[in-house]
């Protein structure tokens, strides 16, 4: 793409969330975001609560249409019952005990359904949250009206009769009759309203509880009902239970089928010269897809930036500047970007090389901490990639093990590729509206965040040196320097506490290497290595630096046995995910 070509505008699936890595896991042990360890990956939900914005929009449209149907259906039935009652042709017998209340209760449901239907018609773009509130209002109103009808029917004194069983028969009949509205409400809720299993279970449980509570309250008030409570309760509970089973099963299957159809539709779509094959993962900034160039038949990864983060002109300028800067990086250990553009929905994308192999995070957690010589071998490659970026005025700001892929290229193993340079901070532009610390940009990952970044101060190349020290600590110890149960505590530790020595967790690390890492983790930027090249020279001077090379790496991979995860502490730790600012741009 030429410098003056601007953005390519083409159709693509709606953007969702962006995985932080572009990699097929080897071997595929868990269905997680590609390259992320299953303990830290953002799971892909199978229901409307998914992080995917596109699927959420699909659910929003479906929910609106279904609410239109339920409001119309309930309104027609309620209005019909009220009209027939006013014409002295009430469908509910007077013996049921709610004859005088039929018109009022029916009009309540009719009014609520009509108002809801008109609001849905008036606001076709109502948000998913607003529609969920409308769903709650409708079915809560229906539940309350049904509960009131049951309580009235079970507490109204029936007409006098010489038959001693008359009262019992009338109350049992009333219990069955007043079960119908809630029975059908449960069926409607499960079959028509798109919900996850948990949400449908919650809604159905509430709808079932209302008639049971109304029956119990009536038994307290009416001695005849209290005497027949044991007989009335099963005639209420059993039909409701069967309706609940149907509702929950239908809701679960409906969402699963909706997800399958949605994914199949998206995978069939074309994005310019690329055919989308499979979604690989999602994260805080959007989603990443496996694709194939239609003519070259070359696999690649397409990373989409969420539409809501790309809705401002300033964001568009920054994105274009960032990608152009990254495409200028040619270091062997930096992931290559082939193309970029803007889709017709306003979201951005860029196309990068597709890499096979585990992330550093997965490699360490599957196979245990690395040999010191291997850690130096990998770190030197990262230093080379950073040195080129820093010389171009760019700071990565989000160095972490899940942004480092260990792949094989040209028959050589243990090749490092550094990802997510599309989210860097560029110091080559000083205009205030181009600063990458504005809304929708990366703030960093708490476990691997340098003190100045944690404190909200400007970050330069020495901040990446600190982050690389955290990554080196993870390579050797199987954990970052600091661990805590919340992001706030982690940030506080980076700001105030001295980093622990590598020897605290692993005594066999050579002292010179431990000293290099300790200098990287100095609190003050001036106390660290000042450039990535300086750090690479220090690593080269370590006694173990020549003990690992491409031949040793090839032998290690050939002899690799079944992965065994290293022992971990039992504390609950926060995942190593990137924090993103979502406020609106000014």
| 27 cis-preceded (ω within 30 degrees of 0) | yes
Which of helix, strand or coil describes residue 254?
Answer: helix
Angstrom CA distances, 296 to 1, 268, 300, 301, 325, stand at: 17, 18, 11, 14, 25
Place of tokens 């994914």: 263
Query: Interior CA angle at 269 toward 264 and 271, to 5°?
Result: 145
**Which residue out of 366, 398, 414, 420 is catalytically annotated?**
398
Q: Where are the alpha helices (DSSP H) in 158-227?
A: 166-177, 179-192, 197-221, 223-227
Handedness of CA 460, 527, 524, 382 (dihedral sign): positive
398 belongs to the catalytic site? yes
What angle do the packed helices 128-155 and 179-192 form, to 10 degrees?
Answer: 160
Q: What gap in Å lies between CA 180 and CA 462, rounded to an integer?
A: 70
Which of helix, strand or coil describes residue 427?
Answer: coil
Q: What gap in Å lies between CA 415 and CA 334, rounded to an integer?
A: 10
Beta strands in 344-492 (DSSP E): 348-353, 355-356, 394-395, 404-409, 412-418, 425-426, 442-444
Q: What is the Cβ-side half-sphere exposure of residue 80, based on CA atoms within 13 angstroms?
A: 8
The end-to-end CA distance of the chain, in Å, is 30
**DSSP summary character for residue 36:** S
Q: Report the candidate in 499, 498, 443, 492 with the shortest Cα–Cα distance to residue 476.
A: 499
Q: 355-356 and 23-24 as β-strands: parallel, antiparallel, unpaired?
A: parallel
Q: Catalytic site residues?
A: 398
């Amino acid at each position: 793409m030429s410098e003056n070509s601007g953005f390519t505008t083409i159709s693509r699936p709606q953007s969702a969330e962006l995985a932080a890595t572009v990699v097929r896991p080897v071997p595929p042990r868990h269905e997680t975001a590609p390259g992320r360890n299953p303990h830290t990956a953002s799971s892909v939900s199978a229901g409307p609560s998914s992080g995917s914005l596109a699927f959420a929009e699909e659910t929003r449209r479906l929910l609106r249409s279904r609410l239109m149907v339920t409001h119309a259906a309930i309104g027609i039935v309620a209005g019909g019952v009220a009209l027939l009652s006013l014409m002295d042709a009430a469908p509910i017998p007077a013996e049921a005990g709610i004859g005088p209340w039929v018109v009022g209760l029916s009009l309540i449901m009719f009014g609520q359904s009509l108002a809801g239907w008109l609001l849905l018609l008036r606001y076709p773009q109502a948000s998913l949250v607003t529609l969920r509130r409308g769903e709650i209002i409708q079915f809560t109103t229906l539940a309350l009206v049904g509960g009131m009808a049951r309580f009235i029917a079970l507490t109204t004194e029936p007409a006098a009769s010489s038959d001693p069983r008359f009262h019992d028969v009338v109350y049992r009949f009333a219990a069955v009759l007043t079960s119908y509205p809630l029975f059908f409400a449960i069926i409607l809720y499960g079959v028509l309203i798109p919900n996850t299993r948990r949400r449908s279970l919650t809604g159905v449980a509430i709808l079932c509880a209302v008639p049971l509570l109304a029956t119990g309250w009536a038994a307290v008030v009416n001695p005849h009902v209290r005497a027949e409570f044991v007989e009335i309760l099963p005639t209420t509970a059993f039909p409701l239970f069967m309706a609940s089973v149907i509702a929950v099963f239908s809701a679960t299957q409906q969402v699963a089928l909706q997800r399958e159809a949605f994914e199949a539709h998206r995978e069939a779509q074309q994005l310019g010269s690329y055919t989308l094959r499979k979604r690989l993962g999602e994260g805080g900034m959007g989603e990443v897809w496996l694709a194939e160039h239609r003519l070259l038949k070359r696999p690649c990864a397409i990373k989409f930036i969420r539409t809501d983060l790309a809705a401002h002109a300033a964001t568009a300028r920054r994105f274009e500047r960032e990608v152009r800067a990254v495409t200028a990086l040619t270091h062997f250990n930096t992931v290559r970007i082939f193309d970029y553009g803007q889709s017709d929905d306003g979201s951005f994308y860029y196309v990068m090389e597709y890499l096979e192999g585990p992330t550093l995070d997965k490699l360490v957690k599957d196979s245990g901490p690395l040999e010191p010589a291997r850690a130096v071998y990998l770190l030197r490659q990262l230093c080379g990639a950073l040195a080129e970026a820093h010389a171009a005025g760019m700071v990565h700001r989000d160095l972490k093990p899940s942004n480092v892929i260990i792949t094989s290229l040209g028959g050589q193993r243990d090749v490092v590729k550094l990802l997510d340079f599309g989210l860097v901070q560029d110091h080559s532009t000083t205009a205030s509206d181009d600063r990458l610390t504005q809304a929708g940009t990366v703030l960093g990952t708490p476990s691997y965040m340098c003190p100045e970044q944690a404190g909200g101060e400007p970050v330069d190349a020495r901040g990446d040196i600190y982050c690389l020290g955290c990554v080196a600590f993870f390579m050797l110890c199987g954990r970052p320097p600091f661990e805590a149960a919340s992001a706030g505590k982690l940030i506080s530790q980076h700001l105030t506490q001295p980093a622990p020595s590598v020897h605290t967790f692993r005594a066999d690390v050579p002292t010179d290497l431990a000293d290099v890492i300790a200098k990287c983790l100095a609190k003050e930027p001036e106390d660290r290595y000042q450039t990535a090249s300086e750090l690479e020279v220090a690593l080269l001077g370590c006694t173990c630096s020549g003990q690992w090379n491409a031949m040793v790496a090839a032998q290690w991979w050939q002899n690799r046995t079944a992965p065994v995860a290293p022992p971990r502490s039992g504390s609950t730790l926060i995942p190593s995910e990137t924090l993103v600012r979502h406020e609106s741009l000014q």
